[in-house]
Amino acid sequence: VLYEPLNAFLCTQAGGHGVRLELSREETLGCTRVRHAFTWKIKGAVREDGTLVARKYEAYSNQGAYASHAHAIAANAANIFKQLYQDEKVLESDSYTVYTNLMTGGAMRGYGIPQGDFVTECVADDLARAVGMDPLEFRLKNCVKEGYKDPHLGIAFHSYGLKACIEKGREYIRWEEKRKAYENQSGPVRRGVGMAIFNYKTGVYPISLETSSCRMVLNQDGSMQLFMGATEIGQGADTVFTQMAAEITGITEDRIHIETVQDTDTTPFDTGAYASRQTYVSGKAVKKTGELFKQRILEYAAFKLKLPCGDMPLGAEKNAEAGAGVSEAAEACAESSAWKRLDIKENQVIDKASGEVLLSLAALAEEALYSLEKSVHITAETTSHCKENSFASGVCFAEVEVDMPVGKIRILDIINVHDSGKLINPSLAKAQVHGGMSMGIGYALSEELLVDEKTGRPLNANLLDYKIPTAMDTPDLHTDFVEMDDPTGPFGNKALGEPPTIPVAPAIRNAVLHATGIAFDSLPLSPQKLVERFMKEGMIGAKSGKLKGGETHV
C-alpha cells in the first residue's frame, strides 16, 4: 500500500489524531516500490549502407508481488523503441508483465523509458557495429525526422531539436577524434566514447487526464497571493510558477507570494507531480489565470481613472437611453474596452502607448477593497484542461576508461544535451539535468537490489551494500541545451524533469563497447560482471591476472 491511505485510515482509528509511519532504511529499500526490471529478446535487420530495415521487440517486465503501475510501464518502455527510429519495413513488438514474489515495481523517474532506451540504444550501436558504420552517423540516418507523429498516440514533435543536440554533443566530446584515437587498443586499461539518444513525451495526454487549476488574489498592498494544486517536491515548481505569474501579470516576483504547502482544503485541484508535466500542464493554468487576473485589475483601473472609451458599447448605450446614471454607463464602458489601453509593468499601471505611469497597484488594491463607490475583491481562478502533448529529446555522450582486470569503469567526461523547448529558469534546468545524470550513473554502474532466489528476501537492503554513487563516484557533469520555441507549451517549454536520467546508462555501455569490443547487455556494469565477461572472452587470465597477449596488469 501507499503511505497516505494507510496513515489516513489509522488516523480515523485514533480519533483523528495525527499518525506517523516510520520505516527503517531496510524497510524502505525492501518493502517499498522499485523500478521494474526488464528482460528482452531483440532482433534487428540492417542493410550494408546502414539503413534500418526491421526490428522485433519482446519484453518481460518484473512487476513483483502486487499491482501498482504495472503493464503501463511495459507499454511505455516499448513506446521509445518505436519512437526513436524509423524502420524501413516493419517493427513488431510484444510486451508481457509478470507477477513474482519480489518487491513491487512502481512508477519511478522515467516511467519505463530508461529501461526501453537502454535496449533501444544498445541495439542501435550493435547494428551499426555489425555493418561497420559509425554509430553517430547510424543515428542521424535512422532516427525519427522532424514532424514525426506517433501513429498510435498521436503525439508529435511540434519542435524538433534532436539532431541539433547530437551535433552539439559531437562537437563537445570531439567524437571523430576520440573514436579514431581509441581504435585497436591493447593493454589492461582502455578508453572509449559512446552515445545514446532519447525522446520523452510531456505529461500523459492522451493516455490519461491532464488538468490543472490556479488561483490568484490581489492583496491589500498590491501584491499577489498565488495558489497552485501542483506540488513543489524540490524540483523548483514554485519558483517557476512565480516567474510565470510575474511574466503574465507584470507584478514583480518579490510581490508574488505562492502558497507552497498544498492543502486540498484551500488550494485548487491538480492531478499531481509526475510525468514531467508541471511547467507544461500546470504552467498553462498559470498563464490562463494570469491573463484573466490582469484583465480584471486593468478593468478596475480603467474605472478608477475614468478613462474615456470613445465609441460607447451597445450595452452602455442602452443603459443611458433607459435613464441609467451616467456613472453606470461610464463604468460599463470602461470595463468593456478602455482597459485594453492599459498595461502593468513592475507593479504600476501604465498607459500602453506612452509608457506613462498612471497608478500603482498598491493604490489600486486599497481603492478596490475599501471604495465606498465600488468595492471589488479582485481574484481569478481558472482550470486548464490540457489536450495536447509534445516530445522533448536529447542525447548523452560519455567518455570512459575501463580497467579490465579489476572491472572498474571510470567516467572521464560526460555531457547531456537537451531540447526541452524554451527554458523557464536556466539555473534550475541545469541543476535538474545534473541530478538526473547522477541518478543515471548509479543505474548504469552500481545500483542493484539483490534477492534470495528461494525466498525473495532482499539481501542488500542498506546503503552499505546497495551502492548509490557518492560525491567521490560522480564525475564533473556537463550539460547544454538547444532552445526551440515549442508552440504547444505555455511559454514554449516542454518536459525536463525525467529526461536527464534516460540516456546515461546506454551511453556508458556503448562507450565500454567502443573501449573493449564487448557488448554488455545487462545493468549494472558492476566489477564482477565485467571481470567474468572479460575472462570468458579470454581478455584477462583467470588466475595470473595476465591479459591476452601476455601483458601483465600491475
d(Cα 237, Cα 246) in Å, to the nearest integer? 14
Do 469 and 489 fall within a single domain? yes
d(Cα 396, Cα 175) in Å, to the nearest integer? 12
Do 7 and 68 fall within a single domain? no
Do 101 and 168 fall within a single domain? no
- Which of 385, 415, 439 is the last residue in one of the domains? 385
**Mean pLDDT confidence for 66-92:** 95
Do 48 and 150 fall within a single domain? no
Q: Give me the pLDDT at residue 323, please.
A: 43
d(Cα 469, Cα 438) in Å, to the nearest integer? 8
Q: Give me the pLDDT at residue 78, please.
A: 97
Do 156 and 81 fall within a single domain? no
Instruction: Express each pLDDT in 90-104 by its tens digit.
Output: 999 999 999 999 999
Do 462 and 553 fall within a single domain? yes
- Whether 347 has a pLDDT exceeding 50, the answer reads yes
520: amino acid identity, one letter: F
pLDDT tier for residue 153 given thresholds of 50, 70 and 90: very high
Q: Give me the pLDDT at residue 554, please.
A: 28
**Mean pLDDT confidence for 24-44:** 94
What three-state secondary structure class fits 403?
Answer: strand
Range of the domain at 85: 33-143
Instruction: Express each pLDDT in 194-244 by its tens digit.
Output: 999 999 999 999 989 999 999 999 999 999 999 999 989 888 999 999 999
pLDDT tier for residue 320 given thresholds of 50, 70 and 90: very low
- Highest mean pLDDT, choosing among 295-309, 332-346, 438-452: 438-452
Instruction: Express each pLDDT in 512-533 by its tens digit.
Output: 999 999 999 999 999 999 999 9
Q: Give me the CATH number covering residue 420.
A: 3.30.365.10
Give the Cα-Cα-Cα angle 226, 229, 230 (nearest 5 degrees).
100
pLDDT tier for residue 316 given thresholds of 50, 70 and 90: very low
Q: Give me the pLDDT at residue 542, please.
A: 56
Q: What is the number of other CB atoms lying within 10 angstroms of the CB of residue 209?
A: 11
Do 255 and 343 fall within a single domain? yes
Question: Is 201 in contact with 155 (CB distance < 8 Å)?
Answer: yes
C-alpha cell at 346: 513592475
pLDDT tier for residue 553 given thresholds of 50, 70 and 90: very low
- Whether 324 has a pLDDT exceeding 50, the answer reads no
d(Cα 319, Cα 258) in Å, to the nearest integer? 41
Q: How many CA atoms lie within 13 A of 493 on its CB side?
A: 24
Instruction: Express each pLDDT in 384-430 by its tens digit.
Output: 999 999 999 999 999 999 999 999 999 999 999 999 999 999 999 99
Q: Give me the pLDDT at residue 333, please.
A: 54
Which H helix or E strand runs over 396?
Answer: strand 391-403
Do 175 and 268 fall within a single domain? no
Tell me how far CA of residue 95 lies from CA of 40, 60, 112, 167, 204, in angstroms: 9, 6, 12, 33, 20
Do 156 and 121 fall within a single domain? no
Three-state SS annotation for 211-255: EEEEEEEECCCCCEEEEECCCCCCCCHHHHHHHHHHHHHCCCHHH
Do 220 and 156 fall within a single domain? no
Domain count, the chain: 4
Through-space distance between the first and last CA atoms of the chain, rounded to whole angstroms: 52
Instruction: Express each pLDDT in 479-521 by its tens digit.
Output: 999 999 999 999 999 999 999 999 999 999 999 999 999 999 9
d(Cα 146, Cα 149) in Å, to the nearest integer? 9
What percent of the chain is predicted at pLDDT more than 70? Answer: 92
Using alpha carbons, select from 508, 533, 542 the residue that is nearest to residue 117: 508
pLDDT tier for residue 2 given thresholds of 50, 70 and 90: confident
Do 197 and 235 fall within a single domain? no
What three-state secondary structure class fits 165?
Answer: helix
Phi/psi at 521 (nearest 5 deg)?
-120, 20
Residue 403, strand partner residues: 189, 408
Instruction: Express each pLDDT in 106-132 by its tens digit.
Output: 999 999 999 999 999 999 999 999 999
Q: What is the number of other CB atoms lying within 10 angstroms of the CB of residue 272?
A: 13
Instruction: Name the CA dihedral angle for 323, 325, 330, 331, rounded to a multiple of 10 degrees.
Output: -110
Residue 359, strand partner residues: 349
- Which of 128, 143, 158 is the last residue in one of the domains? 143
Cis peptide, bond prior to residue 206, ω within 30 of zero:
yes
Residue 391, strand partner residues: 201
- Whether 544 has a pLDDT exceeding 80, the answer reads no
Q: Give me the pLDDT at residue 318, please.
A: 41
Q: Give me the pLDDT at residue 309, please.
A: 63
- Whether 468 has a pLDDT exceeding 80, the answer reads yes
Do 54 and 72 fall within a single domain? yes
Q: Rounded to the nearest 10 degrees, what angle do helices 71-83 and 113-130 cross at?
A: 40
Mean confidence (pLDDT) of the chain: 91
Reported for 295-298, long-range contacts at CB under 8 A and 24+ positions apart, including other chains, are 295/339, 296/378, 296/379, 296/380, 297/218, 297/249, 297/344, 297/349, 297/361, 297/364, 297/378, 298/339, 298/340, 298/342, 298/343, 298/344, 298/349
Using alpha carbons, select from 200, 211, 201 the residue that is nearest to residue 387: 211
Q: Give me the pLDDT at residue 548, please.
A: 46
